Amino acid sequence: MEWFTRESFREGKWGPEEEAGRRQRYLVVVNPVSRGGKALKEGIWLLKHLGRLGIRHEAFFTESPGHAEKIVARWVEKADVVVAVGGDGTINEVVNGMMAFPECEKTLAVFPAGTADDYCHNVGIPRDRGKALDILLTDNDRRIDLIRFNDRYAVVQVGIGVDAEIAYNMLQHKNVRVPAYFATGLRIVFKERFRNSIRDLRIESDSRAYDGKFLVAVFGNAPLYGRYVYWMPDAKMDDGILNMSALRPMSPAPAWILLMRCFKKGYHSEKIIYDASERFAIDLVEESFLQVDGEVYKYNSGKRLDVSVVPGALKVRVPGEPEEEPPFVDPCWS
């Protein structure tokens, strides 16, 4: 595949997909505080080049949590493509705004500007500005499943336990996200908070039930988690199935070693509980934090969470030829 950079656009080197993409209307939603504030520069860069290329677009900058969802719900019907400029939390808000009007059949495109960028890393959208812009302006769309939990949607994962504890503690480190992420994770794993992350749960899938203590339980439809960790190695984003990877309580050092081993693609461990189902019901026996695409929520004890897959719910813009095989049932991208 030849990348259609801004120089290519000036010279008129466009294929049918690129021509179609240029004719569409784009709603751009920028979260300026994402990636410690660096997303503001990414958003300005993108808007400048959309203007230079003559692409029809409207742009909004979010001002508070939940604002992206409100913007999309207000303006989505006037656009063909909704562009999220931010991280996984921003994408989550944008998608929930889009799903308020599922009959609109709009396309989600992402210009990566987050810390982990789990969604982008799974589908193959690079952080390189030029390449990300080229993908955004093609007409190469594909359907993916969404995760529904109670009355909300998630794009990549829903997690309970130590991962939610880390996400919660990350809220105070907005300006140094990447270093703080690893520092917070190490502190939680090797100090008392690690034990405090253990939660008493009852989890039911379509075929099995699990009771007792869990260090972490993650439900998702993509293999990569935390950008580099293949926590759900068998997950596909379009198979109509939701995957679970859970871990019972264990000592800090073995847990950290296990996490490091999950950096290897396709790695499986007998210590991890794997399951796949169209739905999961989770009963919180005690008060728990829940992370949804990196955003943190707090639920009281006795709460039941219904987590299920919504097959083919969302149309997304993806690379024509990703550098790595994407997590799809059919790896051929057309």
For residues 65 and 27, membership in a common domain is answered with yes
Tokens of 18: 């690129």
For residues 197 and 270, membership in a common domain is answered with yes
Share of the chain above pLDDT 70, in %: 83
For residues 14 and 95, membership in a common domain is answered with yes
Question: For the chain, how long is the longest CA-to-CA vector?
Answer: 63
Domain count, the chain: 2
For residues 128 and 254, membership in a common domain is answered with no
Output b/e per residue, 58-92; b: 16+ Cβ within 10 A.
Answer: ebbbbeeeebbbebbbeebeebbbbbbbbbbbbbb
- pLDDT classification of 94: cutoffs 50, 70, 90: very high
- pLDDT classification of 177: cutoffs 50, 70, 90: low
For residues 175 and 272, membership in a common domain is answered with yes
Report the run of H or E that residue 74 belongs to, with start and end: helix 67-75
Nearest to 248, CA basis, from 280, 217, 282: 217
Q: Are 74 and 46 in contact (CB under 8 A)?
A: no
Instruction: Assign residue 85 the CATH number of its domain.
Output: 3.40.50.10330
48 in any annotated domain: yes
For residues 182 and 84, membership in a common domain is answered with no
Tell me the pLDDT tens digit for each residue of 22-77: 789 999 999 999 988 899 999 999 999 999 999 999 999 999 999 999 999 999 99
Q: pTM of this prediction?
A: 0.87
In this predicted structure, which of 37-41, 83-87, 197-201, 203-207 has the lowest mean pLDDT? Answer: 197-201
Report the run of H or E that residue 143 belongs to, with start and end: strand 141-149
330 in any annotated domain: no
1 in any annotated domain: no
DSSP string, 25-45: -EEEEE-TTGGGGTHHHHHHH
Tell me the pLDDT tens digit for each residue of 244-278: 999 999 888 898 899 899 999 999 999 999 999 99
Instruction: Assign residue 189 the CATH number of its domain.
Output: 2.60.200.40
For residues 185 and 97, membership in a common domain is answered with no
- pLDDT classification of 324: cutoffs 50, 70, 90: confident
Q: Which domain holds residue 95?
A: 6-139
Phi–psi pair at 76, nearest 5 degrees: -60, -35
Nearest to 135, CA basis, from 124, 146, 148: 124
* CA–CA gap between residue 241 and residue 89 (Å, rounded): 22
Name residues whose C-beta falls within 8 Å of residue 44's C-beta, 6 or more positions apart in sequence: none
Per residue, what are the HEC states of 173-197? Answer: CCCCHHHHHHHHHHHHHHCCHHHHC
Tell me the pLDDT tens digit for each residue of 270-319: 999 999 999 999 999 998 889 999 888 889 999 999 999 999 999 999 99
Residue 8 pLDDT: 43
Q: Are 137 and 107 in contact (CB under 8 A)?
A: no
Residue 3 pLDDT: 34
- pLDDT classification of 6: cutoffs 50, 70, 90: very low
Output b/e per residue, 220-254; b: 16+ Cβ within 10 A.
Answer: bbbbbbbbebbbbbebbbbbebbbbbbbebeeeee
pLDDT at 187 over 50: yes
Residue 197 pLDDT: 65
Which DSSP symbol is given to 110? Answer: E
For residues 186 and 266, membership in a common domain is answered with yes
Name residues whose C-beta falls within 8 Å of residue 36's C-beta, 6 or more positions apart in sequence: 115, 174, 175, 176, 177
For residues 157 and 285, membership in a common domain is answered with yes
318 in any annotated domain: no
Residue 102 pLDDT: 78
* CA–CA gap between residue 317 and residue 133 (Å, rounded): 11
3-class SS of residue 17: helix
Tell me the pLDDT tens digit for each residue of 301-313: 999 999 999 999 9
For residues 44 and 81, membership in a common domain is answered with yes
Nearest to 247, CA basis, from 317, 181, 197: 197
Q: Are 270 and 232 in contact (CB under 8 A)?
A: no
88 in any annotated domain: yes
